[in-house]
Structure 1
């Protein structure tokens, strides 16, 4: 992990941080430093001990996914943010590189996702799974060059929030994400998936908030 997290937005109720690749959001029992630890230390340094104690992540990203992570900072308003998560009131867009040339320009992938009974690390598309919707728009098709295969640069909007949803849905379309070591082919430069932006109406102020994290890689 080469980069430090960066604060993208902060008010009395909410903080947004740009997570680098290689960092987990929440503790996994190993004692590894997490993005939540970083945010808590930052709030303590700012003199806000209550927020440092009360903060909770509102979304999680896989270890190798970069981009926007939101934290609720106040116990009184956290239920409002939690309800927004349940209602899918956060508009989330990701940037990604997918293997191969995607023939369509835009598509709603509507396939239920369940746990993979044969591999506890993985999820899969299956009739017994939870409803899952991902809207994909092709931004650019990249021809093979300098030994790199044909790829598609895509904008992905999450309409639901299942574990590994984008990775599973793209793999089910035979276009796994570049660098996906679970559902595709590992690459030395890692997983090409970035949580680019989050938009929402602030439940306290009523303001429209749009938060962006610059993409750390170029297609």
Structure 2
């Protein structure tokens, strides 16, 4: 991958804009990871071996999902960030493009568990873990030469289940464009972007809001520059 795009930084934390196709943690295949790239950045800046080793991802995004990923920079303060994540004290907002037309906001609370027939997938399951996703349509477009009928969504994620947004959107009959795993139209990259995080900094007490730029692959289907 190219240069790491920094979205926010202080003495304890760094937030970067993850590109598509990059994994956050190693998966045993030898693929370059976002974590390695952030550690390389700290090293190039003259960080000590302890500082480099202290770089740890605080959450993850799927390989094809883009947007904000938080990294702790100090082992001695990482637990404080882990705690606010475990307590769901971080507001998470995504942008997504779903297939079909969605006219009104909607809350989806279907529980999510593993798919016993396909280890890559999650599914809505009565015995799964609770999950809550709130979607708000921002714009709709009819089918044209670029893509089928589609809706640009703002998505508020209130829990953090694996593939939660993707599973919930497929469950209501509007899989995300590019989400071949869950039945979405496949001639695209996955149209899911971690656009905003907000939280009270557990070390400084300040209110932090981090945003990631609107992705170019979204511009081709919904131009929001105006």
Task: Please indicate, yes or no, whether the TM-score normalized by the shorter chain is above 0.5.
Answer: yes
Query: Residues 12-42 of structure 1: CA distance to partner in whole angstroms, max 9, x if unpaired?
Result: 1101010000000000011111000000000
| Secondary structure at the counterpart of residue 29 of structure 1 | coil
Runs of 4+ aligned residues of structure 1 deviating over 6 Å after TM superposition are: none
1:16 aligns with 2:20: no
2:165 aligns with: 166
The 5 A counterparts of 1:59-98 are: 59-98=59-98
More moved, 4-13 vs 94-103: 4-13
How many residues align? The count is 217
CA distance in 2, matches of 1:141, 1:191: 18
1:88–1:160 contact (8 Å) kept in structure 2: yes
For 1:151 and 1:189, the matched residues in 2 are separated by 13
Deviation at 1:108, TM superposition (A): 1.2
Question: Relative to structure 1, is the Cα distance of residues 4 and 179 closer, same or farther in structure 2, using a 3 angstrom cutoff?
Answer: farther
Superposed, which structure 2 residues align to 1:105-184 within 5 Å?
105-146=104-145, 148-184=147-183
- Any gaps of 5 or more consecutive residues in structure 2? none
The 1-side partners of 2:204 and 2:85 are apart by: 17
d(CA) in 2 for partners of 1:215, 1:84: 26
Cα distance, 1:4 vs structure 2: 4.2
- Structure 1 stretch 61-70 or stretch 6-15: which is displaced more? 6-15
Cα root mean square deviation, aligned: 1.3
TM-score (norm: length of structure 2): 0.92
The 8 Å contact of residues 124 and 168 in structure 1, kept in 2 or not, is answered as: yes
1:142-184 C-alpha deviation (Å, 9 max, x unpaired): 1112252110100001100000000000000000000101002
What are the ranges of 5 or more consecutive residues in structure 1 without an aligned counterpart?
A: none
| TM-score for both structures, normalised by structure 1 | 0.95
